[in-house]
């Protein structure tokens, strides 16, 4: 017998687990949405900020490039160019550009060479006297990192695609920011064109390094409050989700307890009804049998009708009692040895008149000799009779009902097949549910308990019950029971 506590708590635990799963899904979805929104906002703000900076830097570099003459720059070709008027004038112009444009840290000019990965340094705003010792990076130490470049010095641009491919044709900006001890910088370039050859690729390009640390901090200041709000919103959702789960858990356990109490009440009521109904039935049968003297034919007809009604009422009381016992896991098994031949003979005796009354062909395939089997006779009888009764009930006149019985390896196999109305596909998953009736049998008398009890009766004996059905063509039930 199934443990009562396990039976009572299993559906509740399943619903609680479903609630936990729901909460987990809500929390996970909230986290994904929060992270996604934050990421989208962050990247959007960054893209907008970057697009504005790129356009500004291209404009600054383009405006600065017109200050220089390619003829003057052609004069600056090597180290000896330092001190010449053309060199000094170019450096002073670069210094002036740096002074005039806020946040420009470096301003410099490069010349193309035959090697696309190498450029030549021409001048920058700090190299008026490149032989001087200057703490260029302002770290308090003068070393090789502070050395100023001379005109003609090579400059490797193999990793700067903008300088290799674009800067000598049109204004361009580096893809990546550069972060060092001074802050965050972004480099922009523009070609210095020969006015006589405006369409030709330029030989020189000016570069400007713009410090964008403050702009970057501004973006972070804008987005941090939103991130904080998103985190707060996520925490609120998590709190509400867990509160909902706890409320759901309490409700599930309360409903499970109410369901248990209801089943116990049904069991008590059914049990209390069964005894007096049985007494009434025995009394009626005694009258019909003449135990209390002869009765008129008219009275006998009424008494027979009352006896049938009482028998149906007793069957219903027993059915309700079985339902409550299955729900509570208290369905009693009374397995004993029985003759299977006699067992099926008793069932056929009940079903044959019902089939004949509806003009239904009742075909049975039962071996002439069946062994004895160990099973609960009442529950098994109730199950097989219920399946056959349903087959007759839901099969139209002139239809066919078949019962096939076999025993193999101590397993009793019963197949009940009919040519009835069948079970709609949408209803098949719930067919064995308590109080469930298929949508196409609502007009036919029934209580929705029969298959529920049949399934419990067979499964609690270690057997199985299943079905195959097609609406409008019929149904087949397959019962297997160890005997």
One-character DSSP codes across 11-34: HHHHHHHHHHHHHHHHHHHHHHHH
Q: Which CATH number fits domain 334-482: 3.40.50.720, 3.40.50.970, 3.30.565.10, 3.40.50.300?
A: 3.30.565.10
Closest of 465, 440, 307 to residue 382, by C-alpha: 465
Q: How far apart are CA 113 and CA 120, in angstroms?
A: 7
> What pLDDT score was predicted for residue 12?
53
CA distance 154 to 150: 9
* Residue entry with tokens 């008026």: 128
Q: What pLDDT tens digit does each residue of the chain (483 aa) get?
A: 334 344 444 555 565 566 566 767 777 777 777 777 777 777 777 788 888 889 989 999 999 999 999 988 999 988 888 889 999 999 999 999 999 988 898 899 999 999 989 999 999 998 877 766 655 555 555 555 556 788 999 999 988 888 888 899 999 999 888 877 667 889 999 999 888 776 677 899 999 999 888 777 777 677 777 777 777 777 777 777 777 777 777 776 666 665 665 555 555 555 556 567 667 667 777 777 777 777 777 777 777 777 667 666 656 566 566 666 666 565 677 789 999 999 999 999 989 999 999 999 999 999 988 999 999 888 898 889 889 988 999 999 999 999 999 999 999 999 999 999 999 998 888 888 766 778 777 667 666 677 888 888 888 888 999 999 998 899 999 999 998
Tell me which residue of 467, 376, 363 sits closest to 425, measured CA to CA: 467
DSSP-derived pairing of the beta strands 361-365 and 372-376: unpaired
Q: How far apart are CA 191 and CA 170, in angstroms?
A: 6
CATH superfamily, domain 66-211, is: PAS domain (3.30.450.20)
Does residue 458 contact residue 481 with C-beta atoms inside 8 Å? yes
The pLDDT value given to residue 274:
58
Question: Which element (helix H / strand E) includes 136?
Answer: none
DSSP helix/strand/coil, 106: strand
Identify the pLDDT of residue 110: 95
User: Where are the chain's structural domains?
Assistant: 66-211, 334-482
């Amino acid at each position: 017998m199934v443990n009562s506590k396990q039976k009572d708590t299993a559906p509740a635990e399943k619903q609680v687990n479903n609630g936990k799963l729901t909460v987990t899904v809500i929390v996970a979805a909230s986290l994904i949405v929060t992270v996604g929104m934050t990421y989208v906002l962050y990247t959007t703000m960054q893209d907008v900020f970057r697009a504005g900076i790129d356009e500004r830097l291209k404009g600054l570099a383009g405006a600065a490039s017109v200050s220089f003459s390619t003829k003057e720059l052609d004069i600056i070709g090597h180290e000896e160019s330092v001190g010449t008027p053309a060199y000094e004038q170019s450096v002073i112009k670069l210094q002036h550009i740096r002074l005039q444009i806020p946040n420009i840290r470096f301003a410099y000019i490069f010349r193309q060479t035959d090697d696309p990965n190498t450029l030549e340094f021409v001048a920058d705003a700090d190299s008026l006297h490149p032989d001087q010792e200057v703490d260029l990076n302002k770290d308090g130490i003068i070393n090789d990192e502070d050395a100023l470049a001379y005109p003609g010095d090579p400059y490797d641009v193999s990793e700067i695609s903008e300088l290799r491919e674009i800067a000598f044709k049109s204004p361009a900006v580096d893809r990546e920011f550069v972060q060092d001890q001074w802050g965050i910088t972004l480099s922009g370039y523009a070609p210095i064109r020969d006015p006589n050859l405006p369409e030709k690729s330029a030989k020189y390009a000016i570069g400007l390094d713009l410090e964008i640390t403050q702009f970057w901090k501004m973006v972070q200041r804008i987005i941090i409050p939103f991130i904080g709000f998103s985190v707060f919103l996520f925490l609120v959702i998590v709190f509400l989700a867990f509160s909902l789960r706890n409320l759901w858990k309490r409700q599930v356990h309360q409903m499970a307890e109410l369901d248990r109490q209801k089943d116990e009440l049904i069991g008590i009521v059914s049990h209390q009804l069964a005894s007096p109904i049985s007494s009434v039935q025995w009394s009626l049968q005694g009258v019909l049998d003449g135990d209390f003297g002869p009765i008129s034919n008219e009275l006998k007809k009424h008494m027979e009708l009352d006896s049938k009604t009482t028998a149906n009422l007793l069957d219903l009381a027993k059915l309700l009692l079985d339902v409550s016992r299955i729900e509570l896991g208290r369905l009693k098994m009374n397995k004993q040895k029985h003759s299977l031949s006699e067992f099926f003979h008793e069932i056929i005796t009940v079903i044959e008149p019902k089939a004949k009354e509806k003009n239904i062909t009742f075909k049975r395939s039962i071996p002439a000799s069946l062994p004895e089997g160990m099973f609960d006779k009442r529950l098994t009888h109730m199950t097989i009779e219920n399946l056959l009764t349903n087959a007759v009930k839901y099969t139209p006149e002139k239809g066919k009902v078949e019962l096939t019985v076999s025993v193999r390896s101590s397993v009793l196999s019963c197949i009940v097949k009919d040519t009835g109305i069948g079970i709609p596909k949408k209803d098949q998953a719930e067919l064995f549910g308590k109080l469930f009736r298929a949508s196409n049998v609502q007009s036919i008398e029934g209580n929705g308990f029969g298959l529920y009890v049949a399934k419990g009766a067979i499964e609690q004996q270690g057997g199985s019950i299943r079905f195959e059905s097609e609406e409008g063509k019929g149904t087949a039930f397959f019962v297997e029971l160890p005997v």
